[in-house]
Structure 1
Amino acid sequence: MNQSMQIRSALTGEQLPSLSTAWIQSVVASQSSAPPSARTLPALVATTKAQLLGSDWAAPGLFDGSPPGFPQQLLSSSAGSVQETRLPQDIIVQVLDIENLSQSRWQQVQALEAIERGEQKRGREIIRVTADGDGGEETDSPSTGGGGTGAPGRGAAGRTQAPPDTNATHRLVLQDVSGNKVFAVELVRIHRIGIGRLRIGEKLVLKAGTVAARGTLLLDPTSVKFLGGQIEAMNSAWLKGRLQRLREAAQAEQ
C-alpha cells in the first residue's frame, strides 16, 4: 500500500470521507522541505486531517468520488409540505451559519462583539474565551485582581467552567459536499452548539435516521457527530457580516 492510500485509509477509519489521491499528494508535497519528523506517516496523517478540516468541502477535486449529500426529497420545492422524513444514511456537512433563536438582536450583537474581542462578561467578571471553544474559560475578577485562588469553582490555573446555556435554541445552515444548503434546528439542547463554540466551516456527521420536518433537520445529541475544524476566512467574514446585519436590524427596532 503506497503512502497516499495509507493516509486515506487512516482518515476513513476516523469516519472522514475518502480523499482524492491528487489532493493527498499535494499535501504530502507541501511537507517535502519539512523536518523528517514531520514527514513520518503519523505526522502526514495529522497534517492531512488538519488541512481537510480547514478546507471547503464543497470545493471540487477534494474527494474520491462523491460522498452522499442531502436526499433529493429534502431539497425539492415540496420539502416544506412533507411532515416528516429521515436521512437514509450518514451525511457529512459543514456549518455556514448559526443563530441563537432565544436571544434578542441586541443580545446577539453583544455576544458576537465579546467573541470578536476574545472575551465575554458575566456580572463584574471578564471571561476570556479559550481557543478550544468548548465552554472552558479563564476568569478575571476585579475583586481578586484576576486569577486569585480564593474564588469558588476556580482551579489553580484560574479556570472556571461556564454554566451551560441550557435554555438556548440554535438554528444552523448546513451545507453538504455538493453545495446544497438546509436549515437545522436543535430539537433537544446540544451543548456543543453555541455562538463562539461552533465555528463557521466546522464539519459534522448527520447520522442516518436524523428527522427532517417540513424541510428542516431536527437535531439532538444522538443525531450528530462533531468532527471539528473551521474555515478561518469564512469564520472571520461571517462574524463581521453577522455583526453588521444585527446592528442594523437592532437599531431599526429602536
Structure 2
Amino acid sequence: MASPDQIAAQILSTKSLSVSQPWLNDFLSSTSTTQRNVPPSALAKTAIFRLLASDIKESLSKHRSCTLPVDVCRPNVQERRLQGSIPVQVLDIEDIGTSLWSQIEAIERVERGEAIRGREIVRTIAVGEDPEASSENNRASTATGTASVSGNSGYGPHRLILQDAAGTLVVGVEMQRVEGITLEKLAIGAKLLLQNPTVARGMVLLTPRSATLLGGKIEALDKVWRDGRKARLLEKTASAGD
C-alpha cells in the first residue's frame, strides 16, 4: 500500500496541489480494501480526481505559501505580484462582455430546444422529433459552411469569484482569454491554479501565464448556480432599470 507521503508528493509534483493530511488519510482509508496492489502513481490519479470534485477548504493545505493573502482585496493597492502557486475554486462566473439580455435570450433558446447556427436559429434534436429531418438540417448547415455555436458560450471577458483553501474570496478578471474559461465549459467548483498572479485594486488579473484550469466540479453547487442563473440575470436587469 502506498504511503500518504508518496501520494502527497505525486499530487504536488503533477498538479502543484498541497493536499490536506486529514483529507488524504480519509481517502486512503476509504480505498484501502480495493487499492492494495495499485502503484502510487495510479492511486494519486484517483486522489486528484476526488480532489477536483471536493471543496478545497477541506481537501487542500491552508499553509500561507499556497493561499491568498488575507488582505488580497485591498482596493487601495494599485498593483502587486503574488508569489508561488495558489489553487482556488470557482464560485461564480459572469460574462461581462455580453449584454444581460443577450445572455437571458440564450438561456431561453436552450429552454426551447434551439441553438444558433451561423445567423439562423434552428431546432435541436428532441425526443419525438423525426431524426431524418434533424439530420437533413445538419447536412444543410454543413453544406452552407455555417458552424454550430452555443448561444450560451459567451466570449467574455469573464469575471469570476474565486476562493482559496483558507476560504478567502477574491474577484478574478480575465485580461486575456484563458483556455476553458467559458460559461459553457466552466463548472462551479472547478479548480484554477494561480501562478505568480498580478493583483490590481483587489482583483486577480487572469491570463494564460497566471491561471491554469485544472478542471473539476462541485456537483451540488454547480446545479444550484445553473438552476438560478436566469433569475439572477433578470434581477440584474431590473436593478439596472431602477
- Normalised by the length of structure 1, the TM-score is 0.74
Contact 2:154 2:182 in 1 (8 A): no
Residue in 1 aligned with 2:72? 74
- More displaced stretch, 5-14 vs 27-36: 27-36
Asked if the contact 1:126–1:141 (Cα under 8 Å) also holds between the matched residues in 2, the reply is: no
Residue number in structure 1 paired with 2:182: 194
Q: 1:97: how far off? A: 0.7
Q: Secondary structure at the match of 1:58?
A: helix
**What are structure 1's unaligned runs of at least 5 residues?**
129-139, 155-159
Q: What does residue range 18-167 of structure 1 map to in structure 2 within 5 Å? A: 18-32=18-32, 34=34, 39-59=38-58, 62-64=59-61, 66=63, 68-75=66-73, 79-112=74-107, 120-122=115-117, 123-125=120-122, 144-145=135-136, 148=139, 151=142, 162=149
1:191 CA displacement: 4.2
**RMSD of the alignment, in Å?**
3.6
Q: Using the alignment, how far apart are the partners of 2:169 and 2:180 within structure 1?
A: 21
- Counterparts of 2:182 and 2:141, CA distance in 1: 30
2:55 & 2:203 partners in 1: Cα distance? 23
Alignment check: 8 A CA contact 1:10 1:45 kept:
yes
1:147-226 equivalence runs, <5 A = 148=139, 151=142, 162=149, 168-208=156-196, 210-226=197-213
Q: Map Cα deviations across residues 146-205 of structure 1 (whole Å, 9 max, x no partner).
A: 654982599xxxxx7759x79621111111111111111111233421102111111111
Q: Give secondary structure in 2 for the equivalent of 1:97.
A: strand
SS at 1:174's partner residue? Answer: strand
Does the 8 A contact of 1:166 with 1:189 survive in 2? Answer: no
Q: Is residue 57–residue 94 contact of structure 1 (8 Å, CA) maintained in 2?
A: yes
Q: Using the alignment, how far apart are the partners of 1:14 and 1:116 within structure 2?
A: 40
- Give aligned-pair identity as a percent: 33
- Measured against aligned partners, the alpha-carbon deviations of 1:40-63 in whole angstroms (never above 9, x if no partner) come to 54442222111100001123xx33
Q: Secondary structure at the match of 2:49?
A: helix
Q: Distance in 1 between matches of 2:84 and 2:111?
A: 37
Residue 128 of structure 2 is matched in structure 1 by: none
1:223, distance to aligned residue in structure 2 (A): 1.2
How far the C-alpha of 1:65 sits from its partner, in A, is 5.5
User: C-alpha separation between the residues in 2 aligned to 1:58 and 1:212?
Assistant: 22
2:105 is paired with a residue whose SS is helix
Structure with higher helix content = 2
Three-state SS of the structure 1 residue aligned to 2:162 is: strand
Matched pairs, number: 230
